[in-house]
Amino acid sequence: MTISAEIFFEEAQKRVEQLYRTQLEPIRKAADLLAGSLAAGGVVHIFGTGHSVAFAMELANRAGGLVPMDVVSLTDLCTRGGEPWSILEDPAVERDPQVAHRVLATHRLEPSDAFIII
């Protein structure tokens, strides 16, 4: 099978239509939750580890983007928490549940805040 631009766009359109049919209500609920958080003066914290942190980076700290968005990252242990950079060399660090407590301790969290976890 030869992959062409037409085939790619047809498949992409099928996937978007499937998302619309099956996920529209959950997307609306998530949007309402995030909008409510922002309306209440909250911040949306976005966490991703590994390559998924790129999504968080796309949402926060962008020119013209929403200001109350905050990237939460394992690197915060070092940049905000004073831990040595060498801890990030261990791939198991992102799987250790205790690390989450240390990462979150580097951020100001309020009851009105929301999270997107990738």
DSSP single-letter state for residue 86: G
CA atoms within a 13 Å half-sphere pointing along the CA-CB vector of 86: 1
Q: Percent of the chain beyond pLDDT 90?
A: 76
Predicted model pTM:
0.83
Segment 39-59 mean pLDDT: 91
Assess contact for 71 and 57: CB atoms under 8 A: yes
CA atoms within a 13 Å half-sphere pointing along the CA-CB vector of 12: 7
Q: What pLDDT is attached to residue 95?
A: 87
Query: Each residue of 51-96: pLDDT tens digit?
Result: 888 999 998 888 888 889 999 999 999 999 999 999 999 989 988 9
Burial of 73 (0-12, 13-18, 19+ CB in 10 A): buried
Q: Percent of the chain beyond pLDDT 70?
A: 100
Based on C-alpha coordinates, what's the Rg of the chain?
A: 18
**CA nearest neighbour of 59 among 71, 48, 49, 50:** 71
